[in-house]
Structure 1
Amino acid sequence: MDESDYIIVGAGSAGCVLANRLSENGRHRVTLLEAGGDDRRFFVQMPLGYGKLFYDPAVNWLYAAEPDPGLNGQRDHIPRGRILGGSSSINAMVYIRGQKRDFDDWQAAAGPGWGWDQVLAAYKAMEHNEAGANDFRGQGGPLYVSNNRRGLHWLVEDYIAACTEAGLPYNADFNGATQEGTGTYQMTIKGRRRNSAARAFLHPAMRRKNLRVITQAQVTRVLIENGRATGVEYIRGGARQTLRAKAEVILAGGAINSPQLLQLSGIGPGSLLQSHGIPVRHENANVGDHMSDHHGLNYTWKMKVSTYNNILRPWWGKALMGLWYLALGGGPLAKSINHGGGFFRTHEGHDRPNMQLYFQAFSTLLPRAGERPLLTPDPFPGLSVGLSNCRPSSRGHVRITSPDPLAHPAITANAYATQDDVTEMLAAVKFLRRIMAQPSMARWVDEELRPGPQIQSDAELIEDFRNRSGTVYHPSCTCRMGPDPTESVLDTRLRVHGIGGLRVVDASSFPNLIAGNTNAPAMMVGWKGAEMILHDAR
C-alpha cells in the first residue's frame, strides 16, 4: 500500500513551507502532491517574467469569475499558480505581512495563537531580511527578503515626495512598527531570481529521503472513512491512484482549490453536493463561502520624461535590458514593476489604513489580446499608479459546478457589493489624483490618460472603477477559521470541523482578509500550521 504519515495537497506558498517543516526532523514520511509541474522555467525565475505567466496554462489555473454586477457584468480573470511554488511562482513578489490590528482581529475571530505577538514570532523565524534584524524583522530563516532600495526608477523618489506633499508620511518599512505611509516595497527576490516558496522552502527540503514530491498529480477527492480522512485519490498520467495517510491529510491548495476539493469529497453545503450526486460526508454551509479579495485599478498618465516604456518597448531596448539581466543580474528585468507604494486611510475615522498604493514607472493601455504584456508597454512614456481596497466588506463564494474534479468551480466575487466599498474606493481615487497633482509629480505629467480629465463627477468616477477594476489576486477566507462550526470551516488549529485527520493550511483559512499582499501571511500560516501539526502529534 502506498502510504505516508502526512499528505500535503498543493505545493503553493503554504504547502512548500509545510513540506519543509514536517520533514525537517526526519521522523515523518511526507508526500507533497502538486497538480502542476516543475518551477525551473526562465520566466518563472526572472522577476519581471511574471507578465508572461499571466495567461500561460502550463503554470496557471486560468480561472474566470462569474459575471459580476459590481464590475458591470464583466468576468474577471483570476490567475492562480499551477506549479511548484503555486502563486508565489507567478506573483509580483511584493512582501507585505499585514498590520498589527489585522492579527488582533484574527485572534478575536479564530481564537488563541493568531494574535500579533504569535504571528510576528513566526514571521521573524522564517525570514532572512536584507535590512537586518530588529524588533520587527528576522534574520537566519530560510526566506530571503530583499530590501529593494537599489536600482529603482528615478521617478520613485518624486512619487514618494508627492505622497508626502499630499499628507502621506514617508515609511521606511511597511512591515515595521506601522504600515501607514509611502515608500518602497520589500520583495521576495534573491539575487537576480524570484525567491518563491518553492525556492526558499521546498527545494532545500527535497534532498531529504523522507520527503517525496509528486508533480502533475491532480487530487480528485479526500478519502474519508468513519468520519476521518485516511488518504487521497489522484490522477497522474491518466491513471487513478490512491495514497494513504497514517497521520493527517493537509489541504494547501489555496482559496479556490481547497474548498473545491472539500466539496468534491462530500464536505460542504449539503444541497450543493446532492445536486451533483456527491454523498454528503459532513455538511457545512461555510465551505467555499465568505470569500474576500482585494479589488482595484490603475490610473495612467502620459509623461514628459522617460519611463520604462521608452526602454522596454523597442526591440533594441528589450535586447539591451536582457543582456544587462543575463550578464550582470541587474536592470528592470531583475525586479517587480511595483517599485513603490503605500497605505493610507480614506478618512480619519478609520483606525488604520484601508487602501494600498502601487507605483509603476510604466504603462500598458494597449495590451495584446490574451497577454499581460509587462515586456511590451505603450509606445509613449507612460506611468501608472494603482490602488486597491485593504479591508473590503463585500463577500463572494466558490462552488463546484460538476462532480468532475477537472471542471473549474464557479467563482463569484461580488466586487463592490456594499456601499461602504463603493464609498471608500471613490475617496481613494480622488486621493490618487491629489498625489499626482502635487508639485513633485505634476511637473513631469503631460496628461491623464485613464480615466481622463473628462471623468470628474462622483457618478462618473464610480462608473469608471466599476468598468476598469479587477482582482489584485488575493482571494482568501473560503475555509475560514473560527470556534463555531456553524460559522466556520476550521477550528483554531486549522482542523476541519467534524472530520478527523484533516486540516486546511493556506490562505483559505484566513478568518478575515489582511491589509496587503497575501503571499507572506500564507507562508506564515504554513509555518504556524506545521508547528501545530507537530505539536499535536506528540
Structure 2
Amino acid sequence: MSELSYDYIVVGAGSSGCAVAARLSENGRFRVALVEAGPKDTSPWIHLPLGYGKTMWDERVNWKLYTRPDPNMNGRSIYWPRGKVLGGSSAINGLIAIRGQAEDYDEWARYGGGQWSYRNVLPYFRRLETFNSELNPDYHGTSGPISVDPIRRRHPVIDAVIASANRLGIPGNDDFNGPRQEGVGYYSLTTRKGLRSSAAVGYLRAARGRANLDILTDAQVTRIRFSGRRAAGIDYRSGGRTVRLDARRGVILSAGAVHTPHLMMLSGIGPAAHLKEHGIEVLADSPGVGANLQDHLQLRLIYRCNKPITTNDELNSLAGKVKIGLQWLLARSGPLAVGINQGALFTSVTPGETRPDVQFHVATLSADMAGGKVHPFSGFTMSVCQLRPESMGSIRLASADASVAPAIHPNYLATELDRQVAVGGIRLARRIARTEPLSQLVAKEELPGGTADSDEALLDFARQNGATIFHPTSSCRMGQDDDKGAVVDPNLKVRGFDGLWVADCSVMPRIVSGNTNLPAIMIGEKLSDLLLQ
C-alpha cells in the first residue's frame, strides 16, 4: 500500500471541492490533495455548452445513477446523472447560473447562525464570479474564477414565452441573481466566450502548477480512516491498487449529496442499525447521515412548433448542423454556445405564497428526456419544478462494498403541497402556451396532451413522466448543537469528530430556490475561509 501525507485532503473535485482545494493551496502554507474518482476534464464535449447531451450518458465522466423504484412515481426508477470528472457536475450540467432567493439563506441562518444569512453569503457569491455585464454591480463580482454570461442572442420562442408571461402579469427580469428573483427572461450561464466555465476550469487551471497541490484523478475513495475521533486520512483505489493518504489537519468531504453520505456510512458514521445491517463497525450513531434528501422534480411539457425555428430543426438537418457549427467556430455563438435551456421564469402558483415557488426552464428544443435525442419535428420544451418541496427522501447503503452504488430513495410528491404545486405549475405552463404571442407558434401540445385536463390526470402525468432536474441536497445537513438531525455544525465540521468537514450541497438545511451549482461553489468558498481563519 502506497502512503503519502498532506495537511488537507479534499474528497471530490466538483463545484465545492475545486473551490476548497484551490483556496486552501493559494497561500502556499498547506499541502493539499484533491482526490477525484473520475478522469481529467479532457473530453471536448465537457467544454462545449451544448455538449452535455453527450456527457449526460458517458460513463467515463458520469456516475449514471438510478434511484430505487419510487412508489410515488408509479414505481419508476429515475435516472440521476452525476459528474464523475474534474469539475464534477459543473462539468456536465446545464450551465444555469442561479443562486436562489435571499430568504433561502435567511432560513439557513435558523440552522447555522447569522454567518449563513443572505447578507453574509452574498460576498462569497460576488467573490466566485466574473459577471460579464454591468447589471446590478452591488450583487455581482468582476474578478472571480467562474465566468457568468447573460444570454444576449435572442430566440423567437423565448421572446414569445416572455411576452405571453408578461400578458399574464409576470414581470420581466434581466437578472435573477439581482434585487429580486421573480419574473421572466433569459438565464445567465456559466460560460466564457462560448465555452463552459466549470469549477475545474475556473479554480484548477490557475492552481494546477502549485507545488503544494496534488490533483489525483481516477481515484475512488473507499473509506475515511480515524485515529480515535479524529479523521487521520483516506484510502482510495486506483488502477487495482489501494493508496493510503494521511491528513495532518483533516479531511474535507466534497463528494456531493449522494456520495458524501455514502462515504460517511462506509466509514462508520450514520444510522447505527443500518450500518450494522451491512456489517460496518459503528463509530458514531448519526441518524441525519443520508436523511433529509431533497431534490427538484422536473415536469417537462413538450410542444410542437408550427415554424422551423427550433434547435430541433437545426440538429435534424445537415445544413443546420453546418450552420450552428460555423456559428460557434467563427463567432463562439449560436446553440452550441448557450446549451439547451435559455428561458427562465420564477413565479408563484400557490395562493397566499409571497415569493416564487416554481421555476421554468424553457428550451428551444424537445426530446423524450433531458439530454436525449431531439424529436424529428419542430419542438420546444417548458420544464417546471417546485422550488421548495416538502418531500424528503434518503441515501442508504446497498452494500458495504464501496464500488456498489448507494440506494437512492427520492420520495418525490410525498406531500399534498408538492402534488398541488406540481399540478399548478403544469396549468401555468399551459396558460402561457395558450396566450399570444406564444400560442401563435404552438401547433400541438405533445405532452401532457390535450386529453389530460383534470387534476388527477395531470398528477398522473407528473408521476409517470417527472424526473430529477439534478439538484440533490441536504443529506448531511447543518444544524446547531441541540439539533439531533444535524450532521455538521454551523462551521461545517462533522459533529463528534475532529479534522472532518463537509463542503457540498449535502450540508444545505433546506434546498435552495433554484439551481445548485453556484450555491455549491459558495459553500466551498465559505468553508475555505473558515479553515484559513
Bin for the TM-score computed over the shorter chain: over 0.9
What residue is the counterpart of 1:460 in the other structure? 457
Distance 1:225 1:275 in 2: 24
Question: 1:14-413 counterparts in 2 under 5 A?
Answer: 14-132=16-134, 134-149=137-152, 151-306=153-308, 307-365=310-368, 372-373=371-372, 376-413=373-410
What residue is the counterpart of 2:433 in the other structure? 436
Distance 1:361 1:494 in 2: 40
| Contact 1:112 1:492 (8 Å CA) reproduced | no
What residue is the counterpart of 1:509 in the other structure? 507
1:371-417 deviation digits (Å, cap 9, x = unpaired): 933xx421211111111110000000001111100000000000001
Of residues 21-30 and 333-342 in structure 1, the stretch that sits farther from structure 2 once superposed is 333-342
**Partner SS state of residue 354, structure 2:** coil
Distance 2:465 2:399 in 1: 31
What residue is the counterpart of 1:528 in the other structure? 526
| Contact 1:152 1:339 (8 Å CA) reproduced | no
| Contact 2:72 2:411 (8 Å CA) reproduced | yes
Of residues 305-314 and 418-427 in structure 1, the stretch that sits farther from structure 2 once superposed is 305-314
Q: Residue 486 of structure 1: which of 484, 487, 499 is its match? A: 484
| Contact 1:282 1:499 (8 Å CA) reproduced | no
Distance 2:60 2:500 in 1: 29
Equivalent AA in structure 2 for residue 513 of structure 1: I
**Partner SS state of residue 138, structure 2:** coil
| Contact 2:61 2:83 (8 Å CA) reproduced | yes
- The count of aligned residue pairs is 528
Distance 1:49 1:429 in 2: 28
Deviation of 1:138 after TM superposition, in Å, equals 1.4
Distance 2:57 2:42 in 1: 18
Deviation of 1:158 after TM superposition, in Å, equals 1.4
Large movers: runs of 4+ above 3 Å = none
Equivalent AA in structure 2 for residue 452 of structure 1: G
Of residues 316-325 and 475-484 in structure 1, the stretch that sits farther from structure 2 once superposed is 316-325
Deviation of 1:506 after TM superposition, in Å, equals 0.4
Equivalent AA in structure 2 for residue 447 of structure 1: K
Equivalent AA in structure 2 for residue 174 of structure 1: F
| Contact 1:10 1:32 (8 Å CA) reproduced | yes
Of residues 126-135 and 33-42 in structure 1, the stretch that sits farther from structure 2 once superposed is 126-135
What residue is the counterpart of 2:497 in the other structure? 499
Identity of aligned residues (%): 39
Gaps of 5+ in 1: none
Distance 1:363 1:3 in 2: 50
Equivalent AA in structure 2 for residue 25 of structure 1: N
Q: Residue 477 of structure 1: which of 474, 488, 499 is its match? A: 474
Equivalent AA in structure 1 for residue 141 of structure 2: G
Deviation of 1:152 after TM superposition, in Å, equals 3.2
1:347-388 deviation digits (Å, cap 9, x = unpaired): 3411211100111111114x7xxx933xx4212111111111
| Contact 1:485 1:497 (8 Å CA) reproduced | no
Equivalent AA in structure 1 for residue 293 of structure 2: M
| Contact 2:299 2:426 (8 Å CA) reproduced | no
**TM-score of the aligned structures, taking structure 2 as reference length:** 0.97
**Partner SS state of residue 131, structure 1:** coil
Distance 1:279 1:360 in 2: 48
| Contact 2:350 2:357 (8 Å CA) reproduced | no
Distance 1:47 1:333 in 2: 6
Deviation of 1:444 after TM superposition, in Å, equals 1.4
Equivalent AA in structure 1 for residue 426 of structure 2: V
Of residues 336-345 and 410-419 in structure 1, the stretch that sits farther from structure 2 once superposed is 336-345
**Partner SS state of residue 300, structure 1:** strand
**Partner SS state of residue 443, structure 1:** helix
Distance 1:422 1:222 in 2: 40
User: Cα RMSD (Å) of the superposition?
Assistant: 1.2
Distance 1:194 1:68 in 2: 34
Equivalent AA in structure 2 for residue 531 of structure 1: D
1:229-279 deviation digits (Å, cap 9, x = unpaired): 000011111111110000010000000000000000000010111111111
Distance 2:17 2:60 in 1: 19
| Contact 1:290 1:478 (8 Å CA) reproduced | yes
Deviation of 1:451 after TM superposition, in Å, equals 1.0
Distance 2:374 2:228 in 1: 57
**Partner SS state of residue 339, structure 1:** strand
1:272-330 deviation digits (Å, cap 9, x = unpaired): 11111111111101100000000021111111112111111123322332233234322
**Partner SS state of residue 161, structure 2:** helix
**Partner SS state of residue 21, structure 2:** helix
| Contact 1:396 1:413 (8 Å CA) reproduced | yes
Deviation of 1:485 after TM superposition, in Å, equals 4.8
| Contact 1:180 1:342 (8 Å CA) reproduced | yes
Equivalent AA in structure 2 for residue 186 of structure 1: S
Deviation of 1:455 after TM superposition, in Å, equals 0.8
Equivalent AA in structure 2 for residue 105 of structure 1: E
Distance 1:220 1:71 in 2: 32
**Partner SS state of residue 290, structure 1:** coil
**TM-score of the aligned structures, taking structure 1 as reference length:** 0.96
| Contact 1:394 1:415 (8 Å CA) reproduced | yes
